[in-house]
């Protein structure tokens, strides 16, 4: 009987140690998720467009590239997708034009200074941050994805209207 209880006791201790280790990892990941998300809005405010671009999910980058390519069809000077992508990575002229346009309709201070933040969930490859603006009844659920070991913000997945 004592041998049986010892085995159960050891299993419980192992399970508690595993749970504590898992909670630590989720806590570390939650910090990383929040830091990345906050950095996107700080980069936007500071007009650090190249850094901002690097923090976006591949899906957000592709959506933005398609938007720019679609609006560039009407312009006399058109750029290839590769040229636009390179400019966005570098924070160049096209990036400045695009993000300055976004900033005419969106104030990052609303997210940074006038909203409360909380973790919706953190999974190994996806996370959600719940952001509630002080004057809003409904929160924004900022979508995050882990790509190549780094957390990225799903800006278009969160804010763009469904097409």
> 73: which DSSP letter?
T
Confidence (pTM): 0.79
pLDDT 10s digits, 45-96:
999 999 999 999 999 999 999 988 887 565 556 788 999 999 999 999 999 9
pLDDT 10s digits, 88-103:
999 999 999 999 999 9
Of 47, 34, 101, 36, the C-alpha closest to 71 is 101
- 3-class secondary-structure state, position 140: strand
Q: How many residues does the chain have?
A: 163
List the beta strands (DSSP E) in the chain: 115-122, 126-133, 140-147, 150-154
Of 39, 42, 38, 47, the C-alpha closest to 91 is 47
d(CA 75, CA 12): 67
Range of the domain at 29: 2-159
Indicate the number of domains in the chain: 1
Q: Which residue carries 């034009």 as its tokens?
A: 97
């Amino acid at each position: 009987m004592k041998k049986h209880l010892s085995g159960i006791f050891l299993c419980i201790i192992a399970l508690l140690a595993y749970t504590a280790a898992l909670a630590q990892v989720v806590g570390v990941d939650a910090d990383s998720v929040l830091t990345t998300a906050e950095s996107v809005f700080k980069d936007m405010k500071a007009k650090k467009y190249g850094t901002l671009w690097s923090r976006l999910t591949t899906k957000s980058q592709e959506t933005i590239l398609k938007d720019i390519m679609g609006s560039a069809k009407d312009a006399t000077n058109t750029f290839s997708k590769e040229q636009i992508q390179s400019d966005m990575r570098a924070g160049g002229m096209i990036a400045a034009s695009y993000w300055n346009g976004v900033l005419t309709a969106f104030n990052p201070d609303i997210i940074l200074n006038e909203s409360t933040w909380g973790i919706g969930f953190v999974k190994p490859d996806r996370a959600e941050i719940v952001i509630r603006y002080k004057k809003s009844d409904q929160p924004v659920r900022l979508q995050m994805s882990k790509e190549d070991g780094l957390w990225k913000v799903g800006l278009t997945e969160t804010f763009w209207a469904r097409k």
